[in-house]
Structure 1
């Protein structure tokens, strides 16, 4: 039985996918009983079996998924922050390694009198952990393949309302609110679980393209409005949506202008996640920012709200490679 998103699996079927040449013993051993299973001969790849509402003795796990695909999850009750496995989870990089989530509720099927099978919800990306909690350690993860409607269709798991303040409450419709750039800080920020924020990570190409276009259109209109308000209607008429007309090969998305008539080559990067959500640039885009540093502007849109078409944004002017930390995610082999 191949691995497929939103399909249901028994522990034996999951075992047969990831470790087919070992013996499976029901209710015993690694695959038959444990909630955390390391995949053999794959560095830092794991399977998580999670039962919402599960108890171990007197301990009840406090776990759940909210409407944004944020999973609150607890390690085994005896695990500490210093445990090797916990350190692996804290340093998990979803671009390099995989954690596969299989989820079910603790409800018993009235017909079979047995627990429901697990539903495969996709891979996880680390967001943060609580450095003040251990035995168990408290984690927050993002489901990378999240789809709220699919979750409602294929599981009977209760979805937790998102704890994040709704963005449309304080931003006007069709608006772009410019903020300061984030401080340079380590990738792993250990905030309490209650402050968890959405992380977009890598979305499906179609979704990324749709979101990217929305962000570009918002920036395009913002540039036109700015020039018109400052009585440069002549320049406002010359703002050009390059990526829409030419495709993505130019190295930037929008040609705009400063008030004194200098060109602005604008690249737009949009996510629904917070200010520290990682984003991606191609080799062509990086080279363009290096070759045209004095005229290059990155408009980094975050917390984009589809409902009201608004976002927050910070702007970077100059060579991105000298300002931001670049991490290679793919390699061309010759």
Structure 2
């Protein structure tokens, strides 16, 4: 077996070289668009007054979850500011949010297609397995070759790494919808598109939002790894702290990552279960409207 070798690495090198030489126009367009999106969002977050950003984040937490979560958000973001990681945290948040939007925009249509076609599902599952099992560092190598260093290779690698759970859970959510409910829609003459929009997607939304939550968590973990590719943010701070054995900076950047992760996790979890959020502002408004409607019905019956 001394002479046996599969030249998989050489094939990968040739494929990357072919893409770089023949699709340079596409890579340039992706680099320009992605760089503009992440840079614009980062500039927006950093140009806004810090107090305004904290208040908006806290209000968003109160609207979808609870006032306790809102207070915790304000205190946590104040910690990020206090340890001097505000700029890097906003850069990382921008990278994660744009990567999540792109990943979800790709994952949900693929998940819908996989749920409606067994053949497509069988084809895409091994691809998702490969994407999810491949170490995140590996994606950075061709990304750096294609896009040099900075935000863009980090975001591209993040999208690839975070995409699979969004596809899987979208497919699972739609396939889990009760078949009798779907058949009832067909019986009333609804088209497949109407059933998808009016029945399957609403009923599958909690599962889909769980997938979005997982996409965000993986994007955040990969955004830190993307610091190796020179992407500005907390990941770059952690990489520099490792290279210089700077314990203080490493702990401060790590705590900031944890705060962002907890905030985004709790926020998206609440969006997936709005009915269960008793302390949310939206829930309180809904209960008051329901109470007012019930009172009006009672008055109408008395009259």
Q: TM-score range by the shorter chain?
A: under 0.3
Indicate the structure with greater helix content. Answer: 2
Normalising by structure 2, we get a TM-score of 0.22
* Larger RCO of the pair (alpha carbons < 8 Å, separation 6+): 2
Q: TM-score, normalised by structure 1?
A: 0.21
Structure with more strand by fraction: 1
